[in-house]
Amino acid sequence: MRSNLFVAGLATIFASMATAHTVLTTVFVNGVNQGDGTCIRMSKNPDRATFPIEGINNANMACGLEGATPVAFTCPAPAGSTLTFAFREWADEPTKGAGPIDPSHVGSIAIYLKQVPNIATTSPSGGGWFKIYADGYDSSTKQWSAKKLIADKGLLSFSLPSGLPTGYYLARSEIIAIHDISGSGPQFFVNCAQLFISGSTTGTVSIPSDKSVSIPGHVKSSDPGLTYNIYESNPDTKPYTVVGPAPFRPGGAGPSTTAKQTDGVIPSTCILKNANWCAREVPDFSNENECWKASDDCWAQLDKCYTSAPPSGSRGCKVWQEKKCDKIVDSCRSGDWKGPRNKGQKVGSESESSAPVPGRIPGVGVSPGVEEPGVVVPEPVEGGDEYGNGGGEGDNNGEEEGEEEEENLPAPTTRGAVVVPPVPTTLVTRPVTTEASAPVTTTPANGGGKKKGCKNYRRRAGRN
Ligand SMILES: [Cu+2]
């Protein structure tokens, strides 16, 4: 057992030693944290997960490195809801380095969707993609999208079009950095989240032909958005154009209650989650021998937790060990052979299994030129002054007493035609240092800086 933990620890250290760019780690639905890595396709290789895609005709342009590999869970999201994507420069530490991305990385941020008949097997590359959000340079605030993302601690909010038909979708984030176009070229950072969107209609989304694209193939290296020289041009006088098609945002009635997700559902027997791994209850025990068997079961699950943990971290595994396996070992040793205790109840709280949310969930970004006919765009999801951390599956009956947390459920609010449901927020008062599962390393906080990261990328790209 110890050896596996040791290996997991090493992986974290290596993750911290690699230079980093940016990666999508976490999705929030109407302000509720779905958990680090949950529903997100990211490379399992901590050394590469934050790296740009090599070549704009690479199939990985669709969902990133290892982006054709499905993850076990698909997050439910109503049409018209607000999604927030969290990006990190260091996959398991949201506050390390510049937070989401080095400030040198100016360019654009876009979100695309693709409806898929089968969330596990439909190839992300190919046709059917449409853009729902884009931000490049905002001349009113004189801010590049990357700077805005840094100011918002890596949290980007956008709304799902309300007229999407019920179904499974890949939501693709595309961050393009153009700070080094004469060197390494534009850098594309791409990941996908697996969503089940509930709408008011069924069937296939009907995308106007000029707004439907194939990925790869949706951009050319000669596109103005990929050749724009930020050192020679001023975006206030020479506007920067985000690459790709114009956004398509079908309006409609929003979610219906009849939509039923069947694939990628987080099982009800799940008593703790880390990314796309779930713990289930250990077998009953009523004597010493059975107690140790239950202990073995717990530690075997812990092994799987660590081996399945993506670069976004293994905090949930640590919680599973400390709040379940260690306690079973204690009872086996002390002769308390009746169990498991708190059978079937959640272990720890949702927020403990993810990195602390580094900032307040921002409101929905206003994307210039994006229109959604007849639809009220939800305003920022608010929950008082706290960060939108935690909540999860909304079932916190497994929380242990003495947890230093407060629940705060604001009343539902109505804004225009849109009823914004209360967002569970959790104020974490515990010092961050006791939460962190990553070993402390001596790597400089910013990993040696921006240019080093990009040079390192060039060197690696040349070798591979
Ligand atoms: Cu970079």
In terms of Cα–Cα distance, which of 342, 375, 364 is closest to 253?
Answer: 375
Please give the distance, rounded to the nearest whole angstrom, from the Cα atom of residue 21 to the centre of ligand 1.
4
Contact 42, 76 (CB under 8 A): no
Place 254 in a pLDDT band, splitting at 50, 70 and 90: confident
**CA angle (315 as vertex; 65, 390 as ends), nearest 5:** 95
274 or 389: whose pLDDT is higher? 274
Residue 24 lies in a domain: yes
Residue 113 has φ and ψ, to the nearest 5°, of -125, 150
Please give the distance, rounded to the nearest whole angstrom, from the Cα atom of residue 310 to the centre of ligand 1.
20
pLDDT in tens, 83-133: 999 999 999 999 999 999 999 999 999 999 999 999 999 999 999 999 999
Please give the distance, rounded to the nearest whole angstrom, from the Cα atom of residue 24 to the centre of ligand 1.
14
- The answer to whether residues 139 and 215 belong to one domain is yes
432 or 47: whose pLDDT is higher? 47
Please give the distance, rounded to the nearest whole angstrom, from the Cα atom of residue 179 to the centre of ligand 1.
9
Please give the distance, rounded to the nearest whole angstrom, from the Cα atom of residue 184 to the centre of ligand 1.
9
Q: How far is CA 233 from CA 27, 107, 126, 146, 449, in A?
A: 35, 13, 34, 17, 24
441 or 308: whose pLDDT is higher? 308
Please give the distance, rounded to the nearest whole angstrom, from the Cα atom of residue 105 to the centre of ligand 1.
6
Please give the distance, rounded to the nearest whole angstrom, from the Cα atom of residue 216 to the centre of ligand 1.
20
Please give the distance, rounded to the nearest whole angstrom, from the Cα atom of residue 190 to the centre of ligand 1.
12
Place 354 in a pLDDT band, splitting at 50, 70 and 90: very high
Where is average pLDDT lowest: 246-260, 264-278, 443-457?
443-457
Residue 312 has φ and ψ, to the nearest 5°, of -70, -10
Please give the distance, rounded to the nearest whole angstrom, from the Cα atom of residue 134 to the centre of ligand 1.
20
Place 365 in a pLDDT band, splitting at 50, 70 and 90: low
pLDDT in tens, 215-243: 999 999 999 999 999 999 999 999 999 99
Please give the distance, rounded to the nearest whole angstrom, from the Cα atom of residue 221 to the centre of ligand 1.
18
Mean pLDDT within 298-304:
98
Place 257 in a pLDDT band, splitting at 50, 70 and 90: confident
Residue 15 lies in a domain: yes
| pLDDT over 90 at 406, yes or no | no
- The answer to whether residues 315 and 363 belong to one domain is no
Examine the fold and report which residue of 321, 353, 385 is the final residue of a domain before the chain moves on.
Answer: 353
| pLDDT over 70 at 423, yes or no | no
| Percent of the chain at pLDDT exceeding 70 | 74
Please give the distance, rounded to the nearest whole angstrom, from the Cα atom of residue 453 to the centre of ligand 1.
6
Please give the distance, rounded to the nearest whole angstrom, from the Cα atom of residue 108 to the centre of ligand 1.
13
Residue 393 lies in a domain: no
Residue 36 lies in a domain: yes
| Percent of the chain at pLDDT exceeding 90 | 72
42 or 19: whose pLDDT is higher? 42
Where is average pLDDT lowest: 20-34, 283-297, 364-378?
364-378
- The answer to whether residues 287 and 320 belong to one domain is yes
- The answer to whether residues 226 and 119 belong to one domain is yes
Contact 426, 386 (CB under 8 A): yes
Place 396 in a pLDDT band, splitting at 50, 70 and 90: very low
Please give the distance, rounded to the nearest whole angstrom, from the Cα atom of residue 367 to the centre of ligand 1.
24
Place 320 in a pLDDT band, splitting at 50, 70 and 90: very high
- The answer to whether residues 154 and 132 belong to one domain is yes
Please give the distance, rounded to the nearest whole angstrom, from the Cα atom of residue 305 to the centre of ligand 1.
30
- The answer to whether residues 286 and 152 belong to one domain is no
pLDDT at position 259 is 79
Please give the distance, rounded to the nearest whole angstrom, from the Cα atom of residue 421 to the centre of ligand 1.
38
Please give the distance, rounded to the nearest whole angstrom, from the Cα atom of residue 98 to the centre of ligand 1.
12
Please give the distance, rounded to the nearest whole angstrom, from the Cα atom of residue 107 to the centre of ligand 1.
11
In terms of Cα–Cα distance, which of 80, 70, 316 is closest to 193?
Answer: 70
Q: Strand 75-78 relative to strand 187-198: parallel, antiparallel, unpaired?
A: parallel
Mean pLDDT within 54-74:
97
- The answer to whether residues 17 and 120 belong to one domain is yes
- The answer to whether residues 303 and 425 belong to one domain is no
Please give the distance, rounded to the nearest whole angstrom, from the Cα atom of residue 20 to the centre of ligand 1.
7
Domain tally for the chain?
Answer: 2
Please give the distance, rounded to the nearest whole angstrom, from the Cα atom of residue 450 to the centre of ligand 1.
7
**Alpha-carbon gap, residue 280 to 304, rounded angstroms:** 12
| pLDDT over 60 at 374, yes or no | no
Residue 205 lies in a domain: yes
Where is average pLDDT lowest: 183-187, 246-250, 422-426?
422-426
pLDDT at position 417 is 30
CB count within 10 Å of CB 191 equals: 26
Amino acid type, 462: G
Please give the distance, rounded to the nearest whole angstrom, from the Cα atom of residue 104 to the centre of ligand 1.
8
Backbone region of residue 199 per phi and psi (left: phi > 0; alpha: psi in -120 to 50; beta: other values): beta
- The answer to whether residues 297 and 246 belong to one domain is no
Where is average pLDDT lowest: 115-119, 253-257, 313-317, 366-370?
366-370
pLDDT at position 366 is 53
| pLDDT over 90 at 170, yes or no | yes
- The answer to whether residues 290 and 224 belong to one domain is no
Mean pLDDT within 196-214:
96
pLDDT at position 83 is 98
Please give the distance, rounded to the nearest whole angstrom, from the Cα atom of residue 360 to the centre of ligand 1.
25
pLDDT at position 382 is 40
pLDDT at position 53 is 96
pLDDT in tens, 20-48: 899 999 999 999 999 999 999 999 999 89
Where is average pLDDT lowest: 130-139, 207-216, 274-283, 358-367?
358-367
Please give the distance, rounded to the nearest whole angstrom, from the Cα atom of residue 85 to the centre of ligand 1.
19
- The answer to whether residues 190 and 298 belong to one domain is no
Please give the distance, rounded to the nearest whole angstrom, from the Cα atom of residue 454 to the centre of ligand 1.
5
Give me the domain span that covers residue 259: 2-265+356-368+407-463
pLDDT at position 9 is 46
Please give the distance, rounded to the nearest whole angstrom, from the Cα atom of residue 459 to the centre of ligand 1.
13
- The answer to whether residues 239 and 345 belong to one domain is no
Please give the distance, rounded to the nearest whole angstrom, from the Cα atom of residue 458 to the centre of ligand 1.
10
pLDDT at position 258 is 79
Mean pLDDT within 403-412:
37
Please give the distance, rounded to the nearest whole angstrom, from the Cα atom of residue 407 to the centre of ligand 1.
38
